[in-house]
Amino acid sequence: MPVMKDLIDLHTHTTASDGSVPPAQLVAQAKALGLEALAVTDHDTTAGLDEALAAGRDSGLEVIAGVEISVAGPNGGSLHMVGLFVDHRAPALAEGLARLQQARAQRNPKIVANFRELGIDLTLEEVRGFAGGGQVGRPHFAQALAARGVVSHPDEAFRRYLAPGRPAYAPKFRFEPAEAMAMLKAAAGVPILAHPGVLKLRWAELERLIAQLRGQGLEGVEAYHSDHSAADQGRLLGLARRLGLVVSGGSDFHGAPKPKVRLGVGKGKLRVPAGLLPHLRERARRIRLR
Ligand code: AMP
Ligand code: FE
Ligand code: FE
Ligand code: ZN
């Protein structure tokens, strides 16, 4: 019995990046839940989109093509930029993502070497076994360490080894926000700042950052997200209205790697209204017609 009347989820991950659910299965879960639309937004890759879009057509669920790109952020940190309604065959986007794949291919052996120096002999093959055939990232190193019993939980692997400043960390190339937003728009995508509340900036700083990004091409903010408090959500909705930004939202579902976050409802209270969709579609149309 569908329970999710007039609700959508515009931020989800599959096995193409660090999620545990394959694209077609994710679409089936969204359909069973009764969601009105699902966006697939894997980290730095569109490799899951053809399967997801085909499953959407077969099941009659609206599937929106998306991607989530990590870009350079304040104080050496990173920001996540979600693009919605992307044409994943557009050369500008495909080439940009290819560059990120290349950056990963160079970085993963460095992480392996860092572990070796720590006396932990992981192999890339072993780590790849946790990636479900998709792109290999730090979450898969974390899962491999947990499986070996080196840590009791993948989160511990980040805290002890994989987070920036920890001994197995290796940096990787990142685009500047303006470059990533231009890439997304060249592929007809709507660039949206993902989960601004997760940045843990003071509100005045976050407001300044979002206004600055808007000057560089930002079109929307993700006000609804599993890790946002009611206050975050309310403030972001107000800011979007003041700055003329479009609003998006999603659970950031990953499946097993983030077991507390469920599709559609996040940690239980998330509700992303389907009423956002016409505004997002209109923004996408304007970007296409530029
Ligand atoms: P990568 O793109 O390979 O650098 O991995 C980044 C991904 O790792 C993020 O998208 C998160 O899903 C996950 N991640 C980053 N930091 C942490 C953390 N402290 N604990 C758990 N997962 C994390
Ligand atoms: Fe992730
Ligand atoms: Fe993210
Ligand atoms: Zn995400």
Per-residue pLDDT 10s for the chain (290 aa) are 456 789 999 999 999 999 999 999 999 999 999 999 999 999 999 999 999 999 999 999 999 999 999 999 988 889 999 999 999 999 999 999 999 999 999 999 999 999 999 999 999 999 999 998 999 999 999 999 999 999 999 999 999 999 999 999 999 999 999 999 999 999 999 999 999 999 999 999 999 999 999 999 999 999 999 999 999 999 999 999 999 999 999 999 999 999 999 999 999 999 999 999 999 999 999 999 98
In this prediction, residue 145 carries a pLDDT of 98
What is the 178 CA–ligand 4 centroid distance (Å)?
Answer: 19
283 lines ligand 1 (CB under 6 A): no
Question: Which of helix, strand or coil describes residue 80?
Answer: strand
Query: How many other β-carbons are positioned within 10 Å of the β-carbon of residue 233?
Result: 18
Residue 70 CA to residue 82 CA, distance in Å, equals 9
What is the 43 CA–ligand 2 centroid distance (Å)?
Answer: 7
Question: Which residue CA neighbors atom 20 of ligand 1 most closely?
Answer: 155
Helix axes 23-33, 49-59, angle to 10 degrees: 40
Beta partners for residue 220, in sequence order: 192, 246
Question: Which of helix, strand or coil describes residue 42?
Answer: coil
Helix axes 91-117, 138-148, angle to 10 degrees: 30
Give, as one character, the DSSP assignment of residue 175.
B
Residue 166 CA to residue 259 CA, distance in Å, equals 25
195 lines ligand 1 (CB under 6 A): no
What is the 253 CA–ligand 4 centroid distance (Å)?
Answer: 7
18 lines ligand 1 (CB under 6 A): yes
Query: How many other β-carbons are positioned within 10 Å of the β-carbon of residue 5?
Result: 9
- Single pTM value for the model: 0.96
Question: Which residue CA neighbors atom 21 of ligand 1 most closely?
Answer: 155
Which residues contact residue 282 at a Cβ distance below 8 angstroms, ignoring those fewer than 6 apart?
none
In this prediction, residue 1 carries a pLDDT of 45
Largest CA distance in the chain: 55
Measured from the Cα of 44, ligand 1's closest atom is: 2
In this prediction, residue 4 carries a pLDDT of 72
Which residues contact residue 205 at a Cβ distance below 8 angstroms, ignoring those fewer than 6 apart?
74
